[in-house]
Each structure stands twice: as C-alpha cells, then as structure tokens.
Amino acid sequence: MRHWTKFQLRLRSLFSRTAVENELDEELRYHVERQIDEDIARGMSPREARDPALREFGGYQQKKEECRDMRGLNFMENLLRDIAFAIRQLRKNLVFSCTAIFMLALGICASVAIFVFVDAALLKPLPYKNPSQLIGVFETGGNCPHCPLSYPDYLDWKKDNKSFTSLDVFSHAGFTVTTRAGAVPARGARVSDGFFKTLGVHPILGRDFYTGEDLPSAPRSAVLAYATWQRRFGGKTGILGQTVVLNGDPYTVIGVLPPEFHFEPAEPSEFWVSFHATNECDLRRSCHFLDGVGRLKTGVSFATAVADVKLIASHLEAEYPGSNKEQGATLVPLTDLIVGNVRPILLVLLGGAGLLLMIATVNVSSLLLVRSESRRREISVRAALGAGRTRLMRQFMAEGLVLVALGSVLGLAGASKLIRLLTALIPADLLAAVPFLNDLSLNAAACVFAGVIVLLSAVLFSVTPALRISLSGIAMGMAEGGRGSAGITWRSLGSKLVVLELATAVVLLVGAGLLGRSLALLLRVDLGLQPDHLATLYLTAPDARYGKDPQSIALERDVVRLMQNIPGVSSVALTTDIPVTHWGDTTWFRIIGRPWHGEHNDTPERDVSSEYFRTLGATLAKGRNFTEDDDKTKPEVVIVNQALANLYFPGQNPIGQHISGLSDPPKPIEIIGVVANIKEGPLDTASQPVLYFPFNQRPSDGFYVLVKTQQVEAELLPAMTSAVRQFDPDIVTIQQLSMADRIDQSQSAWIHRSSAWMVGGFAGMALLLSVIGLYGVIAYSVSQRTREIGIRMALGAQRESVHRLVLREAGVLTTFGIAIGLACSLAVAKLLRDLLFGVQAWDVPTLATVTIVLAIAALVAGYVPARRAAGVNPVEALRTE
C-alpha cells in the first residue's frame, strides 16, 4: 500500500512535471507571503517586512532543487536527460560513433555466432540418459586404433565384461528401399536389441526392441527416425505394424524416435533395424564391422573398464589365435566420439572470435579515452558551472550505455544472420553426420552469453572515461593549453592498449597464417591420382539378382558398356572403395616363403577393374596392369602400392613374389605390379600399404563407378545416373560427385578450409581494428604535440626529422606489439596443433610474413599523422595555442 502510494508519487513527479513544479512554486510563495503578512501584523512597515523575506527568496531556486531531490525527481530526470544528451553527443560526432558501434557490433556478432555452435556441440548435454556414463567400445589391431568388433567377439564381450550394465553394438547400413516408384537409396543402422535402452532413449511412438528381437529367429523390425517418419510416411500413426522392404527383406515398423534424437557415430540413419546375424561376415569372428556402446556401472571407473575389456581381449586372443591374434581393446567416452571431430575447430574459432571481441572493445575504449581527452575543456566548463563529479561521470556512463546498446542490437542481428550463413557453408553430407549443428538460432544460452558481454563492455565503456575524469584535476582543463600529467597518463595508458591490440592481431594473424599454410599444403598433397575430369557415383544392386559372382561380373561389364556409350567418356573403371575417404576395409595377408607366426598384417584392400589405374591417372611404377582376363579361371594376382613394397620388400623386387590370405594351406597370389601411392584415406593422413585385387577375381554388386571425360565432369553425372536407372530401376545410385568435389568436401579438407578462412577473416578484421587503434593513438599524440613540433621547426628542425619523430613513436609501439604477439602466438600455435598439417608452430615464413604485414600496416597508420605533423606551419602552431 505504502509502496504503491510512493510509486504513484514518483510517477506524478516524473510525468506531471509542470503541475508539480507549479505546486512547489505556489507552496513556497504562500510561505513567503504569509511571513510578510505576519510581520506587518506585528507592526513592521510593509517595506521592512519584505526585506528578510526577500533575502530568503534569494535561495529560492536552491530550495526548489532540494525539494526536487527529495522527491527523487532528479535521478530519473537526469538519467533521461543524460541519455538524450549522449545521443546528441554521439550524433554530433558521427564518424566516431559509427566506428565504435560498428567495431562493437563486429565483436559481438562474431563471438555470439560462434558461441551458438560451441553451445550446440560442446555445452549442451547429448540427448541420452546420463551421457557421461556412455562409452564407445572398440577393438585395436595392426595400425587401426579404433577398430570395430566382430559379432562373435561382441557376444563374448557382452557376456564376460564386469564393467557395463549393458553393452550394445551398431553398424552403418546402406539400404535399398523398395517403393511403388522403384528402388530408392536410404542410410540406416543395424543395432543390437538393447541399443536404445543403453542410450536411455524411448520411442515417442510405438515400442523399443524387445530382448532377443535381434536374433535370426525373431521377425525383422525397424524403428524410424523422426524425420523419416515425417518425410517418407507423412507422420501418420498408422505406420506402426506396417512393413517396409529394405534390401529385399521385409521389416515391421515398431516405433518412431523422438525428434531431438541423434547418434552421430551412426548418422545419417533413417532406419534403425534389429541386427540379424545372417550373412557370412556377421558370423565370422575375423569380420570386424560393429561399433560398441556401453553404459558404465555406477562406481566403475573408466580405467577399470579399460582394464576389464583388455583382459577379455587377451582371453579371446588366447582362445582364438587364428582370428584374434593382435586384437586388443580400447574405450573412448561417447562424448569424445561424437564431438571429438568438431571440438578443436570450434574451440579455435571461439578463441579467434574472443580475441576479435577483445580488440574491438579495447579499441572502442581507447577511442572513448581519446574523446574524453579532447573534451577536457567542455568538462572543465561544466564542472565550473556546478556539475558535480558524479554527475559528470554519469554523463559518460550514459554515452557508454548508448554505444553498447546500439552495438549489441546490431551485433545480435548480425549474429543471427551469421549463424544461418555458417550452417549453409557446411556441406550437406557433413551436416547430416553432425545433426546437432542443424537449425541453430539465438537461444537462451546465447542470449545469456551476449548479456554477459554487453554488461562487461557497458561497465568498461562507462568506467574508462569516468576514470579519466578522476585521473585529471578537472579544473586543470581550464588552464590555457593545459596538458599536464593527465595527457601523459592517458598517452601511456592508450599506448599500452594499442600494444595489447597489436599483439592480439599478431596472434590471430599467425594463427590464420599457420592454418592457411596447412590448407595450402593439404590441397597440394600428392594424391597419386589426377582428380580432374573424373565423374563418380556409387551403385548398389539387389543381391537376389546380382549377388552371385558371374552375375556381379556381368553387371560390371554392363555398367562399363553403359558408361562408355555416353558421349565424351574416354575411360571407365570400378572400385569397391574410392580414394580420399578412409584406410578401412582391410584384409589380412602373409608372404609366402617367409617365416610366419600368425601375425595379421592388417592392410586396406581395394577390388578394382582393369581400367582403374589408367582412369584414375595413377602411375604404375613396376610390373603390369590388370586385364579383363584376370578372372577366376586364372591364377590370383595382386598389385601392391609403393608403401607396401617399401615396408615388406625393402631393397627387393616384389614382382613375382607371392602372398596369401591367412588360410591353411596358403593359396598363393602373385604380385604383378607396384603402383605409386594413392591417397586412399583422408588428405591429412600418411600413406599406408594397400593391396589392389582384380574385380573379376573378387566381384561384388555394390561399387563405385569412375568415368574419365574431356568435358566438364559434373555434366556427365545425370547421364550416368539415368543410364543405370534405365538399365535396371532396382539398382540405386548415390553420391553422384566429381572427384574434385569429393576431395573438396572431404571432412579433412573442409575442416582445414573452414578454420583457415574463418580465422583468416577474424585476423583480417583484427589487423584493420588494431591499425585503426594505432592510427588513433598516433594522431592524438600528434595533435597534443602540435606546439612542441612547431617550436622544433621554428628552431630549425627539418621536416624529415619531424617525420622520424612521429614514425619512431609508431615504430616503438609496433615493435612491442609484434614482439609480445610473436611470443604469445608460439604458445597459441601449440593449441592449434590438432588443426595444423605439415607446419610447425614456429613456422618461420609465417612469422616473418606476419611481422612484415603488420609492420607495413603500422607504417601506413603512422605515416598519415606523421605527414600532418611535418606539414605543421610553425607560426600557426605557435599562434593557435
């Protein structure tokens, strides 16, 4: 009640100002007149009575002010007036205001946008129950640090482990969906029955797999991803119980997953189907294709679990030496598995954006300092006219607040645009694998983050100039030409800020330089192939009609013929795995005629057609190529790459030697050629030994088709697809891409490219901002020293020496900035090492280039004010001051 009355009074004081003022006037006047009346009544003459009353009238305005203060009127009114005044001040100096607001907006925009990505990937918990208990489970073997498990191994691990409440497996699967319109491709995953229970995820519709539903005896069933349910089945609840045909097998739809569910290691997956161990690979202990995910028991440490699985692996190794020799075990927290790829780049980008924000705020505060310095007279005059120190400080705070408010509104608007732009820049394939980066926007967390930035910068921008007032004796500003200690104080503070800015810019520039050089080196990596004019696609044919070897070979010949019929095609080839993807799909071998103790020699295997190396533009270093006649009727042959020849046949000629699988007795395969290393795995990995077998000796009904042409390769892709489609509508084709695009969009290339460009962008802006900052400091210093320069010139100083004087100041600051920046960037580059390729943190060309670029930029920033200083007319300089 009382508070309400008080509030009403406040409102009245604020909004009915004239009425309140009039009342105040009237009240005070009544008092004076009553006093006069009283005095007259006591016998004074009207004149005598008037004097003391009027004397009191002299303090009339002051009394009114005190009353206003008591009503709490001044605070609100002053605030509004301060803000209005601040806006007027800022408008008067439009260049300054726009620069400051723009810089602030830039910093806020970059850091908030990057933060949204960091939040989505690294801060938001994964959409599972207690995600920290979830662990990725792998085998190790040969040169494969995170190998999948085989199904028989999985069953033993599940049975024998003491660390997990549950252990489940999943495997990527490519599906051909039979629809009324023909076969369409879809991605999916085969999972063991407890997969969703282990994750702690429940379908929003229907049910989860029941225990034992993944066994061959149970009917096949499928759980749909939410997006699949919406897109393919119109979001109808009637989908439950219906049948979908995947790879020719009928699956009953039993459930739909929640919309927020994602599981990066198996994405993109539309159909989550029960694992039915049926084919040869499923049942073979040496066929590794299952990734494990387990939930740790409470109280079991990660290290204990690692020891546990290693023990199981060693038991299996002893029990099944034929298949499990050298097969170890390893665990990775699921979180690392899911966000491990994007973590380094996101942290680097966040760091870059943070540094940019820092430069921007430092720059704005130093600009504010310069301005408060140039407004010394104004401040002194206002102080002399009765403005209190707090009142003056409040004025500066209002200006700071207005700047921050405008800057942050602009910055946030920019950030929401930038988020969309950055998402659009992620290739669709990559985005599908990191679904948590989809559909990002300015969420609550981002707003809190932005709020903290805004608050801190608001405090910084209000305090800096306010500090300036308390630094200087206010009255000193009135002294003619006064530039006492305050000017020097500011100059040293401003210089320190500029050194800080320059150092930060150096760090960003070095980072960008290192990342840029990494990218350049990465794109110049020797691929061992000619990626130009190569069109590629992947096709998979139904097993029922193409699964048998002669059928697959016939399919291969048909596909080659179809492609050759397309005008402009010069050669056609097939392979089971296309270059620049992975070093997986391995086989085991031994060399005949050498002692063998059961080692696996786990090595990537590719089954390629006879035209493969020619189409790819690879170089056959030794021996002969495959021919169409190298089929099952002929002795088995193999071509090895140079890395394999160097590793296993150092100083020998591998041609004519024989290798064998690990079968007993060995079946000899003759090495007929050595091919120069082809980059089968990601660009940033070293070459490994690879075995190439002729397609006709190891045929399959799913393979990549490569077409070399003289034309623009992308134009051939539709013709290639429709040729296959016309030949048999049940064959699905996916990944229609030129080889160059494949390399460009590969994860390693994309991560290096995006980090180089983004950090480069940040560095460019940082360079610009810090040079503006340097210019500001030098220009201010010159304006302060106009008289000194005038005297020097009057005493005979040459223009060159004045030039030198100013440039020396810029030079000293720049030298400090660069030196500190280089020292810091050595430390920062160590943090970058995950993203560096082929360059060291102390890469001399990069450091030298950055130094030169910054030195030149600083020279320009210093030259402009230096010219102005040298152009000073000594007579005028002395007269004006």
Partner 1 sequence: MSKPTDLVQGTLDLLILKVIGLEPMHGWAIAQRIRLMSGDVLQVGQGALYPSLHKLEQNGWITAEWAISDNNRKAKYYTLTKAGRKALELETGQWERLSEAITQVVRAV
Binding region for partner 1 (CB under 8 A): 2-3, 5-6, 9, 23, 26-28, 30-32, 34-35, 37, 56, 59, 62-63, 66-67, 69-72
- Residue 390 Cβ, how far from partner 1 at the closest point, in Å? 19
Dmax over CA atoms of the chain, in Å, equals 144
Between 28 and 523, name the residue whose CB sits nearer to partner 1.
Answer: 28
Residue with tokens 């699905």: 732
Between 65 and 599, name the residue whose CB sits nearer to partner 1.
Answer: 65
Between 6 and 624, name the residue whose CB sits nearer to partner 1.
Answer: 6
Between 34 and 634, name the residue whose CB sits nearer to partner 1.
Answer: 34
Between 26 and 629, name the residue whose CB sits nearer to partner 1.
Answer: 26
- Residue 48 Cβ, how far from partner 1 at the closest point, in Å? 18
- Residue 445 Cβ, how far from partner 1 at the closest point, in Å? 42
For the record, the structure tokens of 851 come out as 């130094």
Burial 237-259 (b: 16+ CB within 10 A, else e): eebbeeebebbeeebebbbbbee
What span, in angstroms and rounded, lies between the C-alpha atoms of 639 and 674?
6
Give the three-class secondary structure for 762: helix
Between 68 and 343, name the residue whose CB sits nearer to partner 1.
Answer: 68
Residue 172: HSE in the Cβ half-sphere, 13 Å Cα cutoff? 11
Strands 182-191, 271-274: pairing kind: parallel
Burial 549-561 (b: 16+ CB within 10 A, else e): eebbbebbeebbe
- Residue 59 Cβ, how far from partner 1 at the closest point, in Å? 6
Going 435 to 439 to 445 to 449, the CA torsion angle's sign is positive
Write the DSSP string, 117-142.
HHIIIIISPPSSSSGGGEEEEEEEET
Give all strands (DSSP E) within 225-334, no chain letters: 243-246, 249-256, 271-274, 288-296, 328-333
- Residue 34 Cβ, how far from partner 1 at the closest point, in Å? 4
Between 70 and 94, name the residue whose CB sits nearer to partner 1.
Answer: 70
Phi-psi region of 689 (alpha: psi -120 to 50; beta: other; left: phi over 0): beta
Q: CA angle, corner 530, sides to 528 and 535, nearest 5?
A: 125
From 298, 280, 300, 301, select the one nearest 289 (Cα to Cα): 280
Between 71 and 172, name the residue whose CB sits nearer to partner 1.
Answer: 71
The secondary structure element, H or E, covering residue 422 is helix 389-425
Between 59 and 718, name the residue whose CB sits nearer to partner 1.
Answer: 59
For the record, the structure tokens of 718 come out as 């539709």
- Residue 5 Cβ, how far from partner 1 at the closest point, in Å? 5
What span, in angstroms and rounded, lies between the C-alpha atoms of 225 and 244?
14
- By the 8 A CB rule, do 290 and 150 touch? yes
- Residue 76 Cβ, how far from partner 1 at the closest point, in Å? 13
- Residue 388 Cβ, how far from partner 1 at the closest point, in Å? 18
- Residue 10 Cβ, how far from partner 1 at the closest point, in Å? 8
- Residue 79 Cβ, how far from partner 1 at the closest point, in Å? 18
- Residue 30 Cβ, how far from partner 1 at the closest point, in Å? 5
- Residue 382 Cβ, how far from partner 1 at the closest point, in Å? 25
Between 28 and 430, name the residue whose CB sits nearer to partner 1.
Answer: 28
Between 22 and 443, name the residue whose CB sits nearer to partner 1.
Answer: 22
- Residue 50 Cβ, how far from partner 1 at the closest point, in Å? 15
Ramachandran angles phi, psi of 638, nearest 5°: -150, 145
Q: Is 629 exposed, middle or buried (0-12, 13-18, 19+ CB in 10 A)?
A: exposed
Between 67 and 413, name the residue whose CB sits nearer to partner 1.
Answer: 67
Between 71 and 202, name the residue whose CB sits nearer to partner 1.
Answer: 71
Ramachandran angles phi, psi of 173, nearest 5°: -145, 135
- Residue 6 Cβ, how far from partner 1 at the closest point, in Å? 5
Q: Return the HEC string of 803-864.
A: HHHHHHHHHHHHHHHHHHHHHHHHHHHHHCHHHCCCCCCCCHHHHHHHHHHHHHHHHHHHHH
User: How many angstroms separate the first and last alpha carbons of the chain?
Assistant: 62
Report the DSSP beta bridge partners of residue 586.
604
- Residue 9 Cβ, how far from partner 1 at the closest point, in Å? 6
What span, in angstroms and rounded, lies between the C-alpha atoms of 475 and 478?
6
Going 88 to 92 to 98 to 100, the CA torsion angle's sign is negative
DSSP 441: -
From 546, 432, 535, 423, select the one nearest 187 (Cα to Cα): 432
- Residue 43 Cβ, how far from partner 1 at the closest point, in Å? 17
For the record, the structure tokens of 430 come out as 């990559």
DSSP 684: T
- Residue 36 Cβ, how far from partner 1 at the closest point, in Å? 11
Between 31 and 808, name the residue whose CB sits nearer to partner 1.
Answer: 31
Q: Where are the alpha helices (DSSP H) in 189-264?
A: 195-199, 226-233
Between 56 and 558, name the residue whose CB sits nearer to partner 1.
Answer: 56
For the record, the structure tokens of 325 come out as 């020799």
Between 1 and 424, name the residue whose CB sits nearer to partner 1.
Answer: 1
Between 25 and 599, name the residue whose CB sits nearer to partner 1.
Answer: 25
- By the 8 A CB rule, do 174 and 543 touch? no
